[in-house]
Amino acid sequence: MIDDSTTDRVSVSRRRLLRSAGAVSAVGLTGVAGCTGGGSSGSGSDGGLDDIRVAYMPIYPDMQYFIMDQEGYFDELSATISGEVFSDGPSIVQASATGDFDVMMFGIVPAMIVMDKGIPSKITAANIQNAMQILAHDDFAAMWEAAPSGAEAFTRFKEERGRRFTFGTFPPGSVPDILLRYWLAEIVGVDPENDVKITALGGAGPVRQALLAGEIDGTSIMEPVPTVAQIKGAPYQSIAWAGDFMPGQPAAVTLMHDRLRKDNPEQATAFVEQHQRATTFANEKPDQAAQHASTVIGESSLPVEIAREAMDSRASDFITDPHKIADGAQIFSEYASQLGKTSKALSNDAMFDFGAYDSL
């Protein structure tokens, strides 16, 4: 969960082991690690990068970052990893304009915006798939089950309540928003603009608060918010899951700047290798993964018990293989363009570099 009142960027980094013949550098906490002028990371004597700067978000779909950081997987890399946390995707998009970051771990739509702006970068790994659930108030869920179709359920709601069903979710063009619009238009058969009302709440924190206060009829949201709603006894339940109607639904991804991905492919592959290692860890050791997520995000925002419960959700489908989200990425690309988030729909060739993953 994100505390959306937090707007300041917090810099967190760890001095990684830099090995050369017979010499090992000291290990300790640093601030922003040794970047050269012009916003790019410095090059080591072997021609690789000395420093790899990572922008990430305190969200469940960035689980691999939490594990790589806490399990010391970054220590296996030949560069210092400097992580900087942002409260939302648009903030990373804005920061990317200066070209400071070598890796960005955030939603696929903000990643598309970065690429559309001409920042030389491509997606080298997926973080999660099938992450979104459509939640609805228990009263509507009963109506949904009884109606001959989903469209009829929304029609009956409007007739009985005298108003349109209100969804509260992330802003227009975000991953939850696009997934919701796709589900409504292509799966349910209703007009997202006229048959229902979609309200932008800003982020996971406001969505969670709206659910607990009963202020919305439903939402499109990722974990751990559905788990929080369940644990807190909020009268909402899942009526649809992305894995059922859009298998391979993209959510958070790992976007790499060309100076890492293209100019230093060995280091890029090594990063993706540790990412894959973290994915395996998340799927095989959910107890420890939940602890790491709570530690990095902050236990006040994500208590360990909630993090652990959310690990059992079908929406906690952590992956590294970018091929798995390629089909869904094209759907999201079309919607992002239609909503004006990108100047055009991006092709998979423009968005993805499968090479690092395929070389593992």
Q: Are residues 287 and 327 in the same domain?
A: yes
Domain end point (choices 195, 226, 245): 245
For residues 49 and 185, membership in a common domain is answered with no
pLDDT of residue 303: 95
Model confidence, pTM = 0.86
- Predicted pLDDT of residue 338: 94
CA distance 173 to 338: 9
Same domain for 138 and 110: no
Q: Is 141 inside a domain boundary?
A: yes
SS3 113: helix
Nearest one of 316, 355, 343, 296 to 83, comparing CA atoms: 296
Q: Which of 201, 221, 245 is where one domain is finished?
A: 245
Shared domain for 98 and 166, answered yes or no, is: no
Q: Are residues 278 and 228 in the same domain?
A: no
- Evaluate whether residue 5 is within a structural domain: no
Are 94 and 139 in a shared domain? no
Domain count, the chain: 2
**Residue 18 covered by a domain:** yes
Give the integer Cα–Cα distance in Å for 211 and 15.
41
- Which stretches in the chain have pLDDT values below 70? 1-47
For residue 203, the model assigns a pLDDT of: 84
Q: Pick from 245, 279, 294: which residue ends a domain? A: 245
Same domain, 278 and 211: no
**Structural domain that includes position 142:** 132-245
Q: Do 258 and 292 have their domain in common?
A: yes
Query: Same structural domain for residues 214 and 256?
Result: no
CATH code for the domain in which residue 237 is found: 3.40.190.10
Q: Are residue 264 and residue 119 in the same domain, yes or no?
A: yes
Q: Do 92 and 37 sit in the same domain of this protein?
A: yes
Strand partners, 30: 13
Contact (Cβ atoms closer than 8 angstroms) between residue 322 and residue 357: yes
311 part of a folded domain? yes
Q: Exposed (0-12), middle (13-18) or buried (19+): which is 53, by Cβ within 10 Å?
A: buried
Per-residue pLDDT, 42: 56
Do 123 and 255 belong to one domain? yes
**Calpha distance 235→284 (Å, rounded):** 32
